[in-house]
Structures are given as C-alpha cells and as structure tokens.
Amino acid sequence: MILLTGATGYIGGRLLPLLESSGHPLRCLTRRPEHLRARAGSRTEVVPGDVLTGEGLDAAMQGIRAAYYLVHALGSAGSFIEEDRRAAINFGAAARKAGVERIIYLGGLGDETQDLSDHLRSRQETGRILRQCGVPVLELRTSIVIGSGSLSFEMVRALVERLPVMITPRWVYTSTQPIAVEDVIAYLLAAVDLPLTGSELFEIGGADQVSYGEIMKEYARQRGLKRFMISVPVLTPRLSGLWLGLVTPVYARVGRQLVQGLKNPTVVRDDRAARAFHISPMGLRAAIARALLNEDQEFARTRWSDALSASGGRRSWGGVRFGSRIIDSRTVEVARPAAEVFAPVRRIGGRTGWYYGDWLWRLRGALDLLVGGVGLRRGRRDPEVPLIGDTLDFWRVEAYEPDRRLRLAAEMKLPGRAWLEFEVVPVESAAQKSKRGVSEAHCVLRQTAIFDPIGLGGLIYWYALYPAHKAIFAGMMRRIVSAVGRDGVK
C-alpha cells in the first residue's frame, strides 16, 4: 500500500489518479477528508490526519510500503520554515515507527553553499530531516514546474498577458531549468519501484537551461504577443511580492518568498537522474505548449491555489470569543425544476461572476490583495461543476450537493468568519400544492449569508457595509432567478 500526502495540492492532485490506475492500493492522508473524497476513486482510502500536529499519522502509516511527502507550508500565515520543520519531524518519526520502506519527497534545486532563499533552504532542510528519521528517502529536487495551473506558469502567463511593457528586476536573468509537470509526475511514479539501498537524492530538470526572462519571451512568442522588458537594478523582494500579488494570481506573502528564491540559480548539476530513470524530459517550448493547451481548454486538473495551504494555512479560532452570528437570509419561489433553479448557482464565480455588482466584488478582491489576502485571482477550477474543497475566487467550497446545496466558506481577510450558502428545496407538500395550484416543478431558492464577527471590530465591519451587503445579496438573488433556464441545464 502507498500513502499519499498533499493530494489536494497541485502535484499530489495530478499524481492521485495515476497512482489509482497503477494497481497499488492507495491511502490518502488529509486534514479535511470531505474535500478529497469527491475526487478520489472508490477504492482509495481517505483518512484524516495532520502532519503539523502528528494527529492521525501513526494510524495512516500502518501497512504502508512507500509514503509520498508532498506537503509544504509556503502559503502559511505563520512561520512556514518552522511549520515545515515540525511537519517533517512528525512524518519521519511515524514512518520509522510503522516500518515504512521508503519516503518519496519532492524538494527544490539550489546550491547549498550559496545564500539560498528561505523557501529553498526550507525545502532542502525538509529533505535532510526526513533522511535523518531512519527510513530510506528518495528525494527529487526540481526547478520551477511548467504546467497549467502551476504557480510558476500562472505567474508568467499573467505577467506576459497583462503587461505589454514589463519593469523587470535582476532576477529575470537568473538561470533555471524548468520542467514540465508531466515529467515531474513521471519521476514521482517511477520512484515507487526504483531500487534503493539507502537514501538517494536526484536533481531533475527539463531539457533546457534558460533565464526567467527567456521563459516569458517564449510564452509571448507562442501567444503571438509583442512584449518589452526594461530592467531596473533595485526591486526589493517585498515590493516585488506586492507587485506580483496585484498583477498576477500570486498572493503577496507567497510572492515575496518566490521572488527571494528567484535570485538563486536552480539548474541540474548532477546528472545521475538521467542514468537511474528512463525518462527524457521535454524542453521549454514543448512544456509551455502543453500548458497552453490546457489553458486554452479553460481547464486545469489541479492548480497550486487549490491547495488548502494556499489559503494561508489553518486558522485556529480556539480561545476567540465570537459575538452572536449575523444572518442575512432570503427566499424566493421559482416555478421550475430543481436542476434548472440550481444551474446558475453551481456556475457562480470565476468567469460567470456573481450576477450582481461584479465591480464591487472586484473592488473587494483588490482590497483583499492589498492586505495580503487571496483576492479574486483564483477563479474556479471548472466553470460548471464545483467539488468540495475547490477554490472559488476568495471562497472555498465547503459543501456541495448537486441540484440542492452549495455552501462557500470565505478565505478573504475578515474580522471574523463568513459563509455564503444556496439551497434549492422542491415544494413537496400536497397541501401546499393544492392550495397554490402549483405543479411538481416548483422550488424554493434560499440564499443565506452568515457572519461570525470577532468582537467590536467585526460588528463595525458588518454594519458599516450593511447597505452594500443588502443591495448585493438582494440583487444577486434577483439575477440568479432571472438566469434560471436561460442557458439550459448541462
């Protein structure tokens, strides 16, 4: 049996179906099993656990031959270095205790003798901690990953698409060896059965060594765009991170760490992977072409922003005293079948928008980015059908029942917690039908906004914005009803 962690993330989410089809029994460890069960196959075991606290690790490791460690805390609101360290210690100890035969870990390239960024240093430290646990570790170190939905590709795509003239810092000339996500997955799959006598470290990369500027130029070439770069000598990581957060889908806190890492060359210096694995990685041109193919289809199987850690890590609300929950609920009866009434609800967000006051939603997203939040840049994975755990602009799908219920949990910066829920309830009472003279195709659409304020600040926030909230929620309800049946039900 194989244990997979990080299955809700970008790499793990792509690895999951391939492991399921490989014939190996599979178990997935995740903090929120309900977010993964809709994506995992019926034979895949999904168990609760947390590498940060160690909860559930011992049980998850029982009977495991190989364990994938594909988690990291870069998007955490706290110290990601300390969290990465603690998680690796917990994971390694549980693996050793259970007699796991190997750990497969995906780390980052970079010369350890140089002044590495906090991000790259933490990725390499995680590998060392795992190797010290006493279980053989197969570590793959990679440069940036090119693929639809990857952090690196989304950053390049957004910069090139939106900025005809780019003011670029010195890091655009740093050497890197980008690798296609398909090749990363191929290495990870092969790592399960690669003969091991002890821990092994392999550096992997694509066929080309290029600069970040060359990556952007190649993207522009394939998209038929003319772009100009003007280099400036000084652009601090903080300013670069904030700039990336505003212009691209990269959050400011993640952007700062990412930019710090871009100063370090990330190229393969040891070619042992070429001899140990029968894999021929594609070059930059092919990798971008493959990524664009998925982008043009407006569907990426997984995206870096879908990872639960990308929302800023877990928020602990323990010890926080909330005031009374504030609820804004409204209902309307619609003389249409449930599937038709629910269709515009399940399509909400992303390119569809929010049906009313989209400019206000965009303004709220821009303000959220300014204070280090996620903003509206994430969009949605699929324009038609959400899954539990999906990101949806600055919300996350917390509950989904087809043609019946959608509940979204807010991940924007707020002085409290917030949810937005839609329910479609068929009118089933015979007495009601007789009294109103309605047919079987008659439903009630209920929209509920819920806010749990933290103290006085939370209350001031809600009531200061109450007029805007009232107009937005009422307008949204009207527009959803008017959209019922407009495009049919897919």
Q: What tens digit of pLDDT does each residue of 201-245 get?
A: 999 999 999 998 999 999 999 988 888 888 777 666 566 666 666
Query: Can you give the pLDDT at residue 244?
Result: 65
Distance of alpha carbon 95 from its chain centroid, rounded? 26
Residue 188's pLDDT band (cuts 50, 70, 90)? very high
**Least reliable range by pLDDT among 8-22, 31-45, 348-362, 423-437:** 423-437
Q: For the stretch 192-208, what's the b/e string if a residue is b when 16 or more beta carbons lie within 10 angstroms of its beta carbon?
A: beeeeeebbbbbbbbbb
Residue 460's pLDDT band (cuts 50, 70, 90)? confident
Asked whether residue 434 carries a pLDDT value surpassing 50, the answer given is no
CB contact at 8 A, 230 and 168: yes
Q: What tens digit of pLDDT does each residue of 339-388 get?
A: 999 999 999 998 899 999 999 998 998 888 888 788 887 888 888 999 98
Report the C-alpha gap between 157 and 122 in whole angstroms: 27
120: its two tokens:
């790259």
**DSSP, res 276:** H
Higher pLDDT, 172 or 244: 172
Q: What tens digit of pLDDT does each residue of 251-301 get?
A: 555 656 666 767 789 999 999 999 999 999 999 999 999 988 876 554 455
**DSSP, res 465:** S
Distance of alpha carbon 122 from its chain centroid, rounded? 20
Asked whether residue 308 carries a pLDDT value surpassing 70, the answer given is no
| 3-state SS assignment for residue 477 | helix
- Amino acid, single-letter form, for residue 320: V
What's the average model confidence in pLDDT over 72-90?
80
Report the C-alpha gap between 127 and 103 in whole angstroms: 10
Query: Can you give the pLDDT at residue 319?
Result: 38
**DSSP, res 198:** S
**DSSP, res 322:** B
Average pLDDT, the chain: 84
Integer angstrom CA distances of residue 167 from 163, 164, 264, 299, 366 = 9, 10, 20, 30, 21
Integer angstrom CA distances of residue 49 from 28, 60, 156, 193, 245 = 9, 8, 34, 26, 31
Give me the helices (H) in 136-176, please. 151-162
What's the average model confidence in pLDDT over 34-59?
90
Closest CA to 158 of 463, 446, 324, 369: 369
Report the C-alpha gap between 392 and 272 in whole angstroms: 42
Asked whether residue 77 carries a pLDDT value surpassing 60, the answer given is no
What's the average model confidence in pLDDT over 39-60?
93
CB contact at 8 A, 137 and 102: yes
Distance of alpha carbon 357 from its chain centroid, rounded? 26
Domains of the chain: 2-308 (3.40.50.720), 315-483 (3.30.530.20)
23: burial class by Cβ within 10 Å (0-12, 13-18, 19+)?
Answer: exposed
Integer angstrom CA distances of residue 106 from 130, 143, 335 = 11, 11, 53
Query: Can you give the pLDDT at residue 251?
Result: 53
How many C-beta neighbours within 10 Å does residue 477 have?
19
Report the C-alpha gap between 48 and 369 in whole angstroms: 31
**Least reliable range by pLDDT among 89-98, 154-163, 405-414:** 154-163
Residue 322's pLDDT band (cuts 50, 70, 90)? very low
